[in-house]
Structure 1
Amino acid sequence: MHPAPSVILFSSLSGLGFGLLAWLGIGLPAVTGWVAFVFFTLAYLLAVGGLIASMFHLGHPERALKAFTQWRSSWLSREAWASVAALLVMAAYGAGLVFFDARWWPLGVIGAALSLLTVLTTSMIYTQMKTVPRWHSLWTPANFLSLSIAGGALLAGQVTEAMVLLALAGVVQIVTWWQGDQALASSGTDMATATRLGDIGSVRAFEPPHTGSNYLLREFVYVLGRKHAAKLRIIAILLMAFVPLLLLLSPVLHHLAAALAVLSHAAGVLTARWLFFAQAEHVVGLYYGKR
């Protein structure tokens, strides 16, 4: 599918932001006053900034509020409700830490759960799509959640936990790629099922349905060469997990190494998320002979 920058930024930044809020909600790091204010400001800038970025992908941003009305059937609507609930609860919890030097544990735990629920609902927007076999797997929410929790630990300064979770997120990412590479072939969908002409014999593309481009081809058919994909995967996994792990193990310049680890991880997540969309083979491409 077409890798729109707004959606890449949204899913990457908001995941990091809500991951940090989840760690703050369980009291890690145990901060109060101005230090807590800095941590919460960073978390809200990432979470809210990501949500705002997603609106640039909407054809009619002024209708965004209507998303809240479809919570019974739409994961996008559930994401909207979960994100607002998480931000409000964590705002109250953060106010206690910053202004009253008080840690209201029930609010923190509820806010942490809502933050992770928001990441889960974001991932389910893509997981539910049977038309994109690469996404239609339990590995998609596992990938989103593992990166969010690992990135949150990194931002929260939880070094030991971050190293374990970064390694786990790297493994989940590799398995997600491996599973996704086989998803379209194992889905049973091909040109015969796409055109519903399989009953009369073998089906192949004779010529395109039309001579020009159209919305479906622009948005749902994006072909990325295997060599380029392989290179980008190596870059993503190195930046996302391997480099941050090396930096966290560095015996010198701890604060600088930690900052570089965060930047490296964020760059790796953005690269992996670009691949997440660029390699998503929508089955409509079969109709046009593009798969």
Structure 2
Amino acid sequence: MHPAFSVVFFTTATGAGYGLLALLGVLAGQGFVSPDFWLGLVSMGLALGLISAGLLSSAGHLGRPERAWRAFSQWRSSWLSREGVASVATFVPAGLFAVGWVFFGRTTGWVAVAGLLAAVGAVATVCTTGMIYASLKPIAQWHSRFTLPGYLIFSAMSGSVILNALLQGFAVGSKTMVAFSLLLTFFGWGWKLATWRHNDRLEIPTNANTATGLAGGTVRSLEWPHTEENYLLKEMGFRIARKHSAKLRRITQVLAFALPVLLLIAAFALPWPYAAVLSALATIAQFAGMLVERWLFFAEAKHTVTLYYGR
């Protein structure tokens, strides 16, 4: 599939933003995060900013962005529409949570309820985003048991690393939060390796023989439908060389997982402010690595429509 940067940034930014929002809604609402004004302003501003930036960037992939509002009407049958409804609905409790925290200086009572509702909305929205891809049967790499959990794991992982950096930056971090973000990063690394292993061993059940019902021999086309690249081949027949794929996988592992793990281990062992600097570097490295991971997520996917073109 063609990896448009607008969609790559959308899935990376919103995943991190919703992960951060969910953790803030649960931890701050339960008293594990101090209701400090500046911490609340920066944390909620960053979470909602990442979500908004991601949602706005996704409009860049639409042929007619001015008609995007029509997607909300198809929520009964479309995961894309459900994602839009869930994302907008989540802004309501998230906004109330932010107002209560920043302007009223409290994270208890109705503010805690709003935070929990925002966390539920964040998880639901990430699920709908993952299901957009997991529900596509023509793309075997996406239509698997790894896609939806992967979206949730990477969202929680990114959000935890960002939250740890914020807490360390405001000198209210804890060893527990560092260990939590470190554990999620290890978990995300393992899940990504398992996903790649599954996709590399994947045998596509559909081929030219099964598509035509002529299973008695080898079916091949005498004349291809097009002599030049067309829309389908550009968007759904995008191909990446094996050597480039292997190189980008290594870059993903270094930036998104290995480097953050090393930086978080060092942050766990060192005092503030060294821990704050290392935590911030881990956040930057992981976000860059997840951009590469998302690019590969699209580039390595193969649509069965390419069988029509002999691929």
TM-score by length of 1: 0.95
Say whether residues 1:154 and 2:166 are aligned partners.
no
- Offset of 1:169 from its aligned partner? 0.6
Alpha-carbon displacement from aligned partner over 1:191-213 (angstroms, at most 9, x marks no partner): 2234x152463212444212122
Say whether residues 1:30 and 2:34 are aligned partners.
yes
SS of the aligned residue for 2:138 comes to coil
The letter of the residue matching 1:231 is K
- Offset of 1:101 from its aligned partner? 1.4
Looking at structure 1, the residues matched to 93 and 210 of structure 2 have their Cα atoms a distance apart, in angstroms, of: 48
| Structure 1 ranges of 4+ moved more than 4 A | none
Per mean C-alpha deviation after superposition, the further-off stretch among 24-33 and 125-134 is: 24-33
- Structure 1 contact 146–165 (Cα < 8 Å) conserved: yes
1:137-286 alignment, distance < 5 Å: 137-157=144-164, 158-183=177-202, 185=203, 187-194=204-211, 196-199=212-215, 201-250=217-266, 251-252=269-270, 253-286=274-307
SS of the aligned residue for 2:288 comes to helix
Structure 2: state its 5+ residue gaps. 165-176
Looking at structure 1, the residues matched to 77 and 197 of structure 2 have their Cα atoms a distance apart, in angstroms, of: 30
What's the Cα RMSD here?
1.4
Alpha-carbon displacement from aligned partner over 1:61-112 (angstroms, at most 9, x marks no partner): 0111111100000001110111111122111011101111121222111110
Give aligned pairs, total: 287
- Offset of 1:34 from its aligned partner? 2.1
Looking at structure 2, the residues matched to 100 and 150 of structure 1 have their Cα atoms a distance apart, in angstroms, of: 30
Looking at structure 2, the residues matched to 205 and 172 of structure 1 have their Cα atoms a distance apart, in angstroms, of: 39
Looking at structure 2, the residues matched to 106 and 138 of structure 1 have their Cα atoms a distance apart, in angstroms, of: 32
Structure 1: state its 5+ residue gaps. none
Looking at structure 1, the residues matched to 145 and 120 of structure 2 have their Cα atoms a distance apart, in angstroms, of: 19
Match for residue 16 of structure 2?
16
The letter of the residue matching 2:85 is W
Alpha-carbon displacement from aligned partner over 1:97-128 (angstroms, at most 9, x marks no partner): 11111212221111101101111100100000
Looking at structure 1, the residues matched to 201 and 48 of structure 2 have their Cα atoms a distance apart, in angstroms, of: 37
Looking at structure 2, the residues matched to 206 and 173 of structure 1 have their Cα atoms a distance apart, in angstroms, of: 40
Looking at structure 2, the residues matched to 148 and 106 of structure 1 have their Cα atoms a distance apart, in angstroms, of: 22
Match for residue 4 of structure 2?
4
Alpha-carbon displacement from aligned partner over 1:135-170 (angstroms, at most 9, x marks no partner): 001210111110100110111113111000000011
- Offset of 1:286 from its aligned partner? 1.3
Looking at structure 1, the residues matched to 308 and 280 of structure 2 have their Cα atoms a distance apart, in angstroms, of: 47
- Structure 2 contact 25–119 (Cα < 8 Å) conserved: yes
**Percent identity, aligned pairs only?**
41
Looking at structure 2, the residues matched to 2 and 45 of structure 1 have their Cα atoms a distance apart, in angstroms, of: 26
1:77-96 alignment, distance < 5 Å: 77-96=81-100
SS of the aligned residue for 1:249 comes to helix
SS of the aligned residue for 1:59 comes to coil
- Structure 2 contact 35–106 (Cα < 8 Å) conserved: no
- Offset of 1:55 from its aligned partner? 0.3
